[in-house]
Structure 1
Amino acid sequence: MPVYPFYQVDAFATRAFEGNQACVMPMEAFLADDELLKIAAENNVAETAYLVPQAEGVWALRWFTPAVEVPLCGHATLASAHVLFEAGGYAGDVIHFDTVQSGRLSVRRLADGRLEMDFPSAPIRPVPVTDDIVAALGARPLEAWGGMFYAARFDSPETVKSLTPDVKALKTLGAEGEGWDRGNFGCFALGGEGVDATSRFFAPGSGIDEDPATGSWHTMLSRILATHFGLPEATCQQAYPGRGARIDVRLEGDRVKLTGRAVTVIEGQFRL
């Protein structure tokens, strides 16, 4: 019976029950895709990250939701680096991850214990706010952009927090980004409780009605905030009901730095 190390981590969190859940499973080699997807469905959290060592300080990394493999995932990358630093005994300051669709990603351990991720930040473009999207979201955005996802700006953090979208309708709508299907919506407003922007992320197109803390979404949000609102550095709050997370972002050309913390909540073995 094959046995694999298993870690469940709350990412973009300072304690248990905050941020977003990710499972991290180091392996000597990737299993077949259908096996990886079955494991992710069994874990039944937003993403399961699989790690395979490549060289000193370098791991191959793939991410699966319970429904699909995704081209980029921030919180599960943060969780993976956290596991390698804390449980894997990696003594260096920087971990490199080689990914299938997002190239090389790096995570640096800062002096204060936070982890800083270096991610790509894809271009954005204005897109229309259509009546079917308004109906599915249950409120009318002020404006919207396409890129990796459909990004909708609302008038206030209170409007964002009160959204109750029709996720079944959202699944077939929105912007079709590079490597992503429709049905992935970032909804945000400027301001909030001590932050520059407040957002939520609905992802029925990736098999998740709402994601609690989404690093990939913040690579897009960072570009919007820098390009259109003069905020190349920003503190953001993802306002998932009952959990939520704060994510610091800094846009640097075509890259973005995402900073946060993580905590391990479960450690054990996965038996196939």
Structure 2
Amino acid sequence: MRIFTVDSFTDRPFRGNPAAVCLLDDAVPDEWMQAVAAEMRHSETAFVLREDGGPHSLRWFTPAVEVALCGHATLAAAHVLYSLGESGRLEFATKSGVLATEQTGDGLIAMDFPAKPATPGTPPDGLVEALGVTPVWTGRSEFDLLVEVGSVAEVRAVNPDMERLIAVEARGVIVTASGEGTSADYVSRFFAPRAGVPEDPVTGSAHCVLAPYWSARLGRDALVGEQVSERGGTVRTTLRTAPPAAPGTTPQGDRAELAGHAVTIWSGELEV
């Protein structure tokens, strides 16, 4: 089986967020995928089972657990498939429903993801102490906690106490601020020690939360987000409002288009 490492949300090698992409020949046990992800040691490894005439199967594993949604590993998987000759709209069957990607002429890949707006609320016990920040706003999305602070400098300076943060009930914690004074509309960092990822370099699924939050704050649907981790990366977001649901049907919910570049670092073959 072929396996790749791809740097996502960047157009330069050794920046953005590295993900492994494994192209499966056939269905494999969950335990095997988890073992491969632990061996690869990236924040996520994507496992793709290509299907003729339907969505490709796509699953994501950190070194410790399977996750229900991952942006940068989806971008990496789409980048690999496009580099191998697939074209047009690609669809992936995932635990978060069917996700689709499109490639533009300049190599940018756009992904159709569900928006995951955060609901305002009181910070859970231990969160503020673990982050060492003074929040401007806090809330919770389906998976993560969102914490806005007062400036880009405060986001860059966050140095969480991971032992305290791992006790906070959430998949991860997004720390964000307005991008005033930078080329971005907003900046962010993402910490997920409970999922085995102390800090994720660039997090697509976090931008499913950030896109509706900052679009509402700034009054624009199309934004540029900069994740200011050590490696850094850029995510272009476009919030798309879902049309009204037909009578008797379930509303689809708003969508967040996430777009970025990706670079293949190496490829090889698994021998196990």
Deviation sequence 1:214-268 (CA, Å, 0-9, x none): 0000010001112233232110100111x10011001002101001000000111
Aligned length: 258
- Pairing of 1:67-82 with structure 2 (within 5 A): 67-82=64-79
Partners of 2:55 and 2:98 within 8 A in 1: no
TM-score, with length taken from structure 2: 0.92
Q: In 2, distance between residues paired with 1:171 and 1:34?
A: 24
**Residues 26 and 49 in structure 2, CA contact (< 8 A), matched pair in contact too:** yes
Partner of 1:179: none
Q: Does the 8 Å contact 1:172/1:183 carry over to 2?
A: no
Q: How does 1:219-238 map to 2 (within 5 A)?
A: 219-238=208-227
What's the counterpart of residue 119 of structure 2?
Answer: 125
1:47 match: 44
CA distance in 2, matches of 1:161, 1:271: 41
1:138 aligned residue: 132
Structure 2: distance between partners of 1:240 and 1:49 = 22
3-state SS of paired residue (1:50): strand
Partner of 2:145: 150
- Alignment check: 8 A CA contact 1:138 1:163 kept: yes
Partner of 1:15: 12
Structure 2 counterpart of 1:59, from 46, 56, 66:
56
Deviation by residue 1:37-90 (Cα, 9 ceiling, x = unmatched): 00000000011000011224631000000000000000000000000001x211
**1:184 pairs with 125, 149, 172, which one?**
172
- Residue correspondence of structure 1 range 164-243 to structure 2 within 5 A: 164-174=159-169, 182-192=170-180, 193-241=182-230, 243=231
Aligned equivalents of 1:195, 1:169: Cα separation in 2: 30
Q: CA deviation at 1:131?
A: 5.9
Q: How many Å separate the matches in 2 of 1:209 and 1:14?
A: 24
| C-alpha contact (below 8 Å) 1:9/1:79 kept by paired residues | yes
Task: Tell me which residue corresponds to 2:81.
Answer: 84
CA RMSD across the alignment: 1.3
What is the identity percentage for the equivalent residue pairs of Structure 1 and Structure 2?
A: 37
Shift of residue 129, structure 1, vs aligned partner: 2.8
Task: Measure, in 2, the Cα distance between the counterparts of 1:152 and 1:201.
Answer: 10
Q: In the alignment, what sits opposite 2:236?
A: 248
Which residue matches 1:104? 98
In structure 2, C-alpha distance between the alignment counterparts of 1:115 and 1:230, rounded to whole Å: 24
Find the aligned partners of 1:233 and 1:167 in 2 and give their Cα distance: 33
How far apart, CA to CA, are the structure 2 residues paired with 1:170 and 1:57? 41
SS at match of 1:221: helix
Structure 1 stretches lacking a partner, 5+ long:
175-181
The offset of 1:191, in angstroms, is 1.2
One-letter amino acid of the structure 2 residue matched with residue 166 of structure 1? D
Deviation at residue 124 of structure 1 after TM alignment: 2.3
Contact 1:95 1:108 in 2 (8 A): yes
Task: Return 5+ residue gaps in structure 2 as ranges.
Answer: 242-253
Looking at structure 2, the residues matched to 30 and 16 of structure 1 have their Cα atoms a distance apart, in angstroms, of 31
Q: What is the CA-CA distance between 1:206 and the residue it aligns to?
A: 1.0
